[in-house]
Structure 1
């Protein structure tokens, strides 16, 4: 059982997630229908997270706080379109929550995701349900409940990904 992750694993998770988004940006482009089906959400999010990873790669140590700050700065500076700005705010909230930690438990991850959701909602003047905001909110709310029951990071993440996909399937 893995009860915590360290900075190296945080780095690897973000790099892996960025690669996954890049590999599936066309699919995400097709999911976009709000406010208009302009087909660029995946592209904008991929470009945004790519800038975050470039900034992350400048950090030599695997210090969780430094990694979070780099991701936050890179995503904000590289934010493209509405979806990129929202993604950068989610990352900003996560970074704020993990700052100063040497390791992260499933509860730390859940709280960070919830803070990311809260920050993103505050950054949008008129949040609309059925969007990325809904998926991050529902996922973070679920994460807080799941973290109480599941301390194993791998099992927790499996549950979280499943719920995120369920939330996505419930959105228009």
Structure 2
């Protein structure tokens, strides 16, 4: 029997995505800092993205551990690109958690 593709993110998918995104950003962080195309050329775009995903991943883990997850509001978003990424993650979470 063919598998039906999943058309939504469930909590486990969001958890996996956060972990994979954090690992990928950890590897690419310095390269993204060097490119630094958005929003201001201040050399920390990769770092801000990494810190934002790190905060989101911690919030997701807190949910799985049964703790309250205030960081799901974007409270840990780093300046610049961080809030933009937090908004995207928050939008995904509305359908996932």
TM range (shorter): 0.7 to 0.9
Structure 2 counterpart of 1:45, from 37, 43, 49: 49
**Runs of 4 or more consecutive aligned structure 1 residues displaced over 6 Å after TM superposition:** none
Task: Tell me which residue corresponds to 1:3.
Answer: 5
**Number of matched pairs:** 90
Residues 59, 35 of structure 1: CA spacing in aligned structure 2 closer, same or farther, 3 A cutoff?
Answer: closer
Deviation of the 1:60 alpha carbon: 2.3
What is the alpha-carbon root mean square deviation over aligned residues?
A: 2.5
Gaps spanning 5+ residues in structure 1: where? 62-68, 101-172
Distance in 1 separating the partners of 2:33 and 2:92: 24
Question: How does 1:60-139 map onto structure 2 within 5 Å?
Answer: 60=64, 72-73=72-73, 76-96=74-94, 98-99=95-96
Deviation of the 1:15 alpha carbon: 1.2
Distance in 2 separating the partners of 1:37 and 1:26: 14
More contact order relative to length (CA 8 Å, sep ≥ 6) = 2
TM-score by length of 2: 0.74
Gaps spanning 5+ residues in structure 2: where? none
Encode CA deviations 1:127-156: one digit per residue, 9 max, x unaligned. xxxxxxxxxxxxxxxxxxxxxxxxxxxxxx
Give the greater-gyration-radius structure (CA).
1
Structure that is richer in helix per residue = 1
